[in-house]
Amino acid sequence: MASMLVPIAYVIIVFGGLYIFSYFYRNYTASKYVEPYFPPHHERNLYVTLLGKSDPPVSDALLKSALVRRAMADVHRVIRLREDKPALQNLLQKGSIGDDLWNSLLAAEKELEAEIMEVVQEANAYVEGWGQVIFPTANEMIANERMRQLFESTNETRAAKEIKYGVKSKPVTTSSVPSSPTPTSPSPSLLTPTTPKSPNGLAPPSNAESVASSDGEAPDSPNMSRKSAKKNKKRK
Distance CA 73, CA 107 (A): 17
pLDDT of 28: 67
Distance of CA 19 to the CA centre of its chain: 55
Running DSSP on this structure, what letter comes out for residue 132?
G
The answer to whether 116 and 72 are in contact (CB under 8 A) is no
Looking only at Cα atoms, what is the longest distance across the chain?
A: 167
Distance CA 233, CA 236 (A): 5
The answer to whether 206 and 214 are in contact (CB under 8 A) is no
- Residue 57's DSSP bridge partners are 54
Q: Nearest to residue 132, comparing CAs of 145, 116, 109, 113?
A: 116
Beta strands in 1-145 (DSSP E): none
Q: Nearest to residue 73, comparing CAs of 133, 135, 23?
A: 135
CA distances in angstroms from 111 to 8, 12, 88, 105, listed in the order given: 46, 41, 18, 10
pTM of the model: 0.56
Which residue type does 158 have?
R
Running DSSP on this structure, what letter comes out for residue 177?
S
Structural domain spans, the chain: 39-165
Q: Nearest to residue 206, comparing CAs of 198, 215, 226?
A: 198
pLDDT of 172: 55
φ/ψ of 224, rounded to 5, equals: -65, -35
pLDDT along the chain (236 residues), means of 10: 73 85 71 77 94 88 94 95 93 86 91 95 94 94 92 85 77 48 36 39 40 41 47 48
pLDDT of 36: 85
